[in-house]
Amino acid sequence: MTDAVTICECFARDGLQHEPVFLPTETKIELLERFVTAGFTRIEATSYSHPDRVPAFADASQVLAGIPRPPGVAFKATCPNPRAVSRALEDLDRGAGAEELSLLVSATETHTERNLRSTRARQWERVAEMAALAGGRFRLVGVVSVAFGCPFEGQVDPARVAEDVARFAEVGAAAVTLGDTTGVATPATVATLFRRLERDRPDLPVIAHFHNTRGTGIANAVAALDAGCRHFDSALGGVGGHPATIEYGAGLTGNVCTEDLVWLFDAMGVRTGLDLDALAGASRACEAALGRQLHSMVARAGFSSAASPA
């Protein structure tokens, strides 16, 4: 093994926001415990979205209160607005908060209006307000949605994404996620953008968050790896994407499958720090929780040890 990456498991938040049926709180906690056992050190646990808009996370505080807290594991919650950060602070004061908070912007005006019900200018004002409100008590992770292309405005200027990354750094983000929200990225566009950000912000971790809408998610992850990225988001079973109530986009909106990404990295000699047997068990538990076969190819083919790299 000559290299290492950190994978954030996103099933419990980005994965479940796509599900039309509420998953019981106890089941979410059991799955999160499995993710810890598998070796994930970053886990997206929930969202402080308004429960009327995204009912899947009406139990955010209960989930955070019920999960184990082993040393070296960071749980992340998404915060779309200042009220969400206030809720995160209330949970933290009760001793059951998240270690990380995601703050969201979209790279285009139209997607901002549709997804965040705001303008880009106003959302950036809210991000600054949220960062100040957090008061240094969380690790902040900026998220740039539609970073590689927008379903409404088409191609996105990489310079605008680089600007957004820089603005997140200015308000105190410790890392920034680039989201391929509707799966339009290609290995070429991924390599170009990640290399640019590596040149511009070598001190700032940039996280690759790909959706597999057009079957390119794994290829894009490898392109990001080759361009210097060492931080990835994925979801067991390839579930998730945008909420089920959002109508834009087509095809499979879900994330890159964790099982497939981990197996490939392992086969390439890239260390993930994850236990393949425990990961296989977590994969089966996710399928059982949702009551259907999910999208991982490795879950069907098997988690046998990967061949050693040449």
Residue 76 has pLDDT above 70, yes or no: yes
Tokens coding 270: 């890239």
Say if residues 301 and 35 touch (Cβ distance below 8 Å): no
Task: Return the pLDDT at 83.
Answer: 96
- Higher-confidence residue of 19 and 233: namely 233
C-alpha–C-alpha distance, residues 192 and 155, integer Å: 14
Is 308 within a domain? no
In the chain, DSSP assigns E strands to 3-4, 6-9, 42-47, 74-79, 100-106, 139-145, 175-180, 206-210, 231-234, 270-271
Over residues 67-83, the mean pLDDT reads 95
Distances (CA, A) of 29 to 51, 127, 283, 290: 18, 29, 15, 14
Mark out the alpha helices in 95-134 (DSSP H runs): 109-116, 120-134
Residue 223 has pLDDT above 60, yes or no: yes
Residue 280's domain comprises: 3-301
Residue 85 has pLDDT above 70, yes or no: yes
Which letter does DSSP use for residue 13 in this model?
I
Task: Return the pLDDT at 54.
Answer: 87
Phi–psi pair at 255, nearest 5 degrees: -75, 170
Is 65 within a domain? yes
Residue 1 has pLDDT above 60, yes or no: no
Our count of domains for the chain comes to 1
Is 88 within a domain? yes
Is 307 within a domain? no
Per-residue pLDDT tens digits for 242-257: 655 666 666 667 899 9
Task: Return the pLDDT at 225.
Answer: 97
Residue 300 has pLDDT above 80, yes or no: yes
Any idea what the CATH number is for the domain that residue 228 is in?
3.20.20.70
Task: Tell if the pTM clears 0.85, that is, is over it.
Answer: yes
Q: Residue 263: what residue type?
A: W
Over residues 38-42, the mean pLDDT reads 98
- Higher-confidence residue of 277 and 19: namely 277
Residue 289 has pLDDT above 50, yes or no: yes
Per-residue pLDDT tens digits for 171-221: 999 999 999 998 999 999 999 999 999 999 999 999 999 999 999 999 999
C-alpha–C-alpha distance, residues 134 and 89, integer Å: 7
